[in-house]
Every structure is written in structure tokens, then in C-alpha cells.
Structure 1
């Protein structure tokens, strides 16, 4: 089901609902920097096919997919995105949710835990944490904003593989085509382009982590302690180190770490090892 709603500053935003509306648990799925709601369809399809009784709401953050682009690029920030998520929950009259946050969506989850902790029942963080590894951050900063049009889907798949190939060494040509179709959109003339506003690059290119930002991020992470945490990490991730992932689990106290073999930043969450942990985590506490 398509969902359209308004942000506090008047943007027309989009989300999509999957699964039964009357399910006992709602999972709010928030994508990474350059992705959109389709990024969660492999995960959602696998869970629903297995009989998971959860309603999934996957969003297009402002400036991505079917959500309106912001004329002020300063608003492309996790704090503003978090406010948009609250507007969505209020629009749908949803009292409590579990959060599934991939990369940037995980940062949004941390922010939301400081804003509406009473409405959050659990959090899934996908390959993100308080400390961002320089290698991964540099890679993301180098490719974000590069939205040159491609002649066709084959060219788009090749472009995606060039950027993401090291993170998914076992992907086939069909996998890259599917990846492209989740991240590009087709234009009227048959060409395709990445499905986001290139202006989102402005804020991320200014990110320069240091000891003070790391301390602030660990403090933000501490706000997540009241709810259960499922942390997913790609075994060859260049953004979240194994050391920091294990530190997060220790500091949280009620967390589980799932590592996805031979996958980098970020797992799609449809991997069997993730599905085995994700279904009971989302269904826990459902009446």
C-alpha cells in the first residue's frame, strides 16, 4: 500500500506498507544514504514468505525515491529525517514500532531513541555504529552525488558493480541488475539515473570524525540501552569494524550480533543467517 504524508515543513513524502495492517508488530524500515524503500524488499519478501506476522513500513527519506526533494540541502540530515519519521507515525496513528535502520537509517534510529523512546520497542542496526571507519567513509564520500545518467539498465548494473563490487564478491550479473533496479529510476527517454537528489552529498562530504564526535556518538548510542538491539554486520564491512561491533554489544547489555559472511557494507538482510535472527527479534513480545 502506498502512503503519502507531509513533513513538518510541508514536503510530500512517501512510504510503502507491506504485510497485514492489523499485525501485532510494526517495523519501520529506514534505508541508507543513497537508497530508498525498495532496498528492504528482499528482506521483507523473505520474512513474509516465511509467515512472519509483522507489518513493514519502508520509507523514502526526503530527497529519495518518490519523496519530494528539499530545496534547502541543509535539511538533508538525520535529525530532520527523524522528525519526518515521527510525522509518518503520527499520520498513520501508530503508537509503537520496532526500527530497522540500514547505515544512515541506523543513525536515524539512534536519534529517534532520544526523541520518542516510549514509542520504540526494539532496534535493528544494519552495519552502522558510533564509530565510522575512515576507509568506508571515504568510499561513500567519493561516490555520493554522482548521478550521471546511464543509457540503459545494463550500464546501470555495471556502474553499481563498479562501486559495490568489493562488498558483494559473490554477486552474479542478475544480482547486479536487481541491485540497479532498486537504486535507479527509468526516465521518459529510456535512460536511467540514480534515484536520489545529488544535493544529499553536501552534508555527508563535510563529515570528519574525530575524538569529540566519536564521544558524542557513543553517548547517542547509550540512549538505545532501554530496548533490545539486533546488530547486523557484514564480515568484510569497511564502515563498521568487528572490534567496534563487539564493543557495541558489550556496552548495550541486551544485544545480539549477527555477522554475514562474505558481505560488506551493507547486508540486504535477506541472508539466511540474518533471517534466522530477524524473525524472532521482530516477533518477540507480539501478543
Structure 2
């Protein structure tokens, strides 16, 4: 239990223990928000946003931030093949059922955005709006190659400061203006301290899911899945330096979705960090999305 959020543990359909951070009032009139992280990221990435939404003096919201299986405080799966979007979709539905959330705005970063799009197909009544952080119906192979180059392959740093420098060396071109404090903050969502040493916040076997991708073959296009979001307001965010979501794809999303708001975050890559001005933009958009007919 943390004074700023409640710990929620849920059993998946196969018995694996899943974890989520549960912020704010469990009951209330405001539409809840569900945060879904990227491939190798955790609920930690949404802490600032969750605090801002749950502590709003005028309209506090319940915010649920999930750790997928094999990440954060969720249990690791003995079979790495289960680190699959379809199974993580089922896990998400299980967590929402236990939490009693019947409708929410979903904030999905990268993989979390794919799960959000999938939710619109399998459980459309759950969606009250969607924030897609640097992900869309076309995934660029170049970005996936870069992600595959480091997931599960990072060196073991001695301190969080060193961990921040590891990430800086790896992704400085994506985030050229990041401060050391920002790199260290990102590192705290990648490693945790355990018995006096730093360990990854995710199962290194996640890398195996990427190794099975044949990036010489064109990737599947997900426009029909994205089309499932057409009844709902959508905020689409792109990092100006992103190599996973192109500006052309973002324009196509705008043209095909009449209720989509597009935002590009300059000097950030995949995926923009939710803090500062971007945090304010998301919070304001959620407030407006709730009152749209």
C-alpha cells in the first residue's frame, strides 16, 4: 500500500498474478481513466498523470495504471509466448472486471494503444475516449528494429544515476534535450532496487517476442482496428522524433477520424514522456472528452 495509490492484485484467467496501481476515489461521478504502458514499461510511467487526475480539486478521477504480465509488480510468465497482445488484452479485461470499471478513458502508450484499439473491437462499451501515445494503425519497421536492439539486452548499472546514463546513450537521438533528471526518472521505470542491486522491471524473455518478428516482410496494417475508435473522441500524440509513428500516418489518422485531435511533441521520440505541458494537454482533453456528446 502506498499513501498515494492502492495496490490492486488480480488473478488472470490462467492464475498468474497481475498488478495495477489504483489512484483516487473508487466511487464518484467523473469518468475513470485506465493507463496502459508500452512493451517493456510499467505503471510507473503514468504516476504524474494519475496524481494530477486523481487529486483534481474540482473533479477527482479514479485512475488505474496496469502492469502487464512479466512487467513491474505483475508475476512473470513461465512461457514467454504468453507475452502476447491478445493475452494482455484478456488480462486487462480481467483487471477492469475486478476493479468494477465499466467505462473509462484509456491512455495507451505504444503497445497500450494497440490494446486500446483492440478493446474497441471486443468490448466497445468500455470506451469513453482514447489517448494514443505514439502509436497508430501503421507501425514502422525501423522503430521495431531499434526497440528489438535493447529490450532484455541492457547492461546492469550500479546506480539509478548510471541507469539514466545507459538510457541516455541508447536514446539520446530520440530525446536530445532531456536532462539527467529526466533520464533518471525514465530509468526508475526500467530498473528497481532489489537486495542492494538494480534489476530490470520486466522479464528479459520479452526479447523473444520481438525476435520472432520477420521485419523483412511488410508489417500488418491496422487501419480496420483503428476504425473501431471512430465513435469515440481520440487524442493522438506523436513524438516529433518518433521512428514508430510517422507524421504521414498521423495525418491519415486525422483524415479518417472526425473526432481526432493530433498533437506532436517536439524534440521527443518514441514515446513522449507524460509530464509538463503534455500532461496538461492530456488532462484538459480528458475533461473535454467527457462532456462531448
Alignment of 1:29-108 (within 5 A): 29-48=35-54, 51=57, 53-108=60-115
Quick one: structure 1 residues 273 and 28, their matched pair in 2 at CA, closer, same or farther if it must change by over 3 Å?
closer
Quick one: structure 1 residues 126 and 259, their matched pair in 2 at CA, closer, same or farther if it must change by over 3 Å?
same
Quick one: structure 1 residues 273 and 155, their matched pair in 2 at CA, closer, same or farther if it must change by over 3 Å?
closer
Q: Report Cα offsets for 1:114-163 as digits up to 9, x if no partner.
A: 11001111111000011112221110011111144322222211111122
Q: Indicate which of 177, 182, 189 corresponds to 1:182.
A: 189
Structure-1 residue corresponding to 2:201: 195
Deviates further, 166-175 or 201-210: 201-210
User: Does residue 283 of structure 2 align to residue 275 of structure 1?
Assistant: no
SS of 1:193's partner is strand
Quick one: structure 1 residues 34 and 194, their matched pair in 2 at CA, closer, same or farther if it must change by over 3 Å?
same
Q: Indicate which of 9, 27, 32 corresponds to 2:33.
A: 27
Query: Distance between the aligned counterparts of 1:249 and 1:231, measured in 2?
Result: 9
TM-score normalised over the length of structure 1: 0.92
Question: Which runs of 5 or more residues in structure 2 are unaligned?
Answer: 1-5
Structure-1 residue corresponding to 2:133: 126
TM-score normalised over the length of structure 2: 0.91
Question: Which runs of 5 or more residues in structure 1 are unaligned?
Answer: none
CA drift at 1:50: 5.5
CA drift at 1:112: 1.2
User: Does residue 246 of structure 2 align to residue 241 of structure 1?
Assistant: yes
Structure-2 residue corresponding to 1:116: 123
Q: Report Cα offsets for 1:210-255 as digits up to 9, x if no partner.
A: 55712xx112111111211110111111110011011012112211
Asked whether the equivalents of residues 225 and 253 of structure 1 are also in contact (C-alpha less than 8 Å), the reply is yes
CA drift at 1:77: 1.0
Structure-2 residue corresponding to 1:139: 146
Query: Distance between the aligned counterparts of 2:27 and 2:141, measured in 1?
Result: 43
Q: Indicate which of 165, 171, 177 corresponds to 2:178.
A: 171
CA drift at 1:194: 1.9
SS of 1:275's partner is helix
Structure-2 residue corresponding to 1:224: 229
Structure-1 residue corresponding to 2:3: none
Q: Report Cα offsets for 1:188-218 as digits up to 9, x if no partner.
A: 0x2212210011111123234655712xx11
Asked whether the equivalents of residues 153 and 204 of structure 2 are also in contact (C-alpha less than 8 Å), the reply is yes
Aligned positions, number: 284
